[in-house]
Amino acid sequence: MYKVFVKDIPIILSTEENIGEQYTSIPIELVRFKKLIKKINKGQLQYVNLYHKNEEKLERFLRKKLPVVEAAGGMVFNDKKEILFIFRNKKWDLPKGKIEKRESHEDAAVREVKEETGVDDLEVRDFLMKTYHVFKRNGKFKLKVTYWYKMYSTYEDELRPEEKEGIKKATWKNFEKSQKALTKSYENIKLLFPKEYLTTHPNDRVTEV
């Protein structure tokens, strides 16, 4: 099972026809995908399950429904266990961008982090996951598939947000500040974080007397 976000509403892709009473379930080979997206954008539909018994075919079918843009990005940690965030379009995000021709996913992720934040000396530690979201460009819906990598850097110099890409800020955030940033982020970005980042830290809870 995985999720494709339209704005912040997830379309579930699964091998199960029934995943809950509130879900509208549609065989993925029969779905009218653009019509589905329009309904979600209009607030007419919130719970959607697209299913196929063969899990390997789920993404393959999806890629046939919309033009695909592939991107890559990084969740970057430093020695203080802080995470590198950017602020763009009034949302906290992680650095990412489009993969260029003949460029590997890892190389694209490293390049985009450096270009968008100025952070150098990046070490790729692990592949995290792919995220999926639908966006509209020049009047047409497209599917963005982003490959995410866990990275590490010892970089301590000034951060340089890429203003021409609309990035207003680039900053390192500790655990508590990361939690706060995620309340003003995207749902597909939240998928990258362990669940403790998405709940109140025990030290922040008010003890009743």
Give how far the C-alpha of residue 22 lies from the chain's centroid of Cα atoms, to the nearest Å. Answer: 25
Q: Would you say residue 208 lies in a domain?
A: no
Structure tokens belonging to residue 67: 């033009």
Q: Which residues pair with 132 in a beta bridge?
A: 4, 145
Instruction: Specify the length of the chain in residues.
Output: 209
Q: How much is the pTM?
A: 0.90
**78 & 60 share domain:** no
Domain count, the chain: 2
What per-residue confidence (pLDDT) applies to 200?
A: 55
pLDDT digits (tens, 9 = 90+) for 41-57: 999 999 999 999 998 88
47 lies in the same domain as 104: no
Whether 48 and 111 map to the same domain: the answer is no
More confident residue, 57 or 160: 160
Compute the mean pLDDT over every residue in the chain, rounded to the nearest whole number: 92
Q: Residue 67: is its pLDDT beyond 90?
A: yes
DSSP annotation string for 156-208: -S-----GGGTEEEEEEE-HHHHHHHHTTS-HHHHTTS-GGGGS--GGGSPPP
- CA distances (Å), origin 33, targets 14, 22, 39, 64: 16, 19, 10, 10
Judgement on whether residues 52 and 127 belong to the same structural domain of the protein: no
Are 39 and 104 members of one domain? no
**Per-residue pLDDT tens digits for 73-108:** 999 999 999 999 999 999 999 999 999 999 999 999
Runs of H (alpha helix) within 49-151: 56-65, 105-117
The verdict on 39 and 91 lying in the same domain is no
Q: Are 18 and 47 in contact (CB under 8 A)?
A: no
**Whether residue 117 is found in the same domain as residue 163:** yes
**Domain boundaries, position 51:** 2-65
CA–CA distance, 152 with 158 (Å, rounded to integer) = 17
Here the tokens at position 4 are 């494709």
145, part of any domain: yes
The rounded percent of the chain whose pLDDT value lies above 90 is 85
> Over 90: is that where the pLDDT of 202 sits?
no
First to last CA, the chain: 44
Nearest to 153 by CA among 176, 170, 132: 170
Task: Supply the CATH number for residue 155's domain.
Answer: 3.90.79.10
pLDDT at 62 (0 to 100) = 87
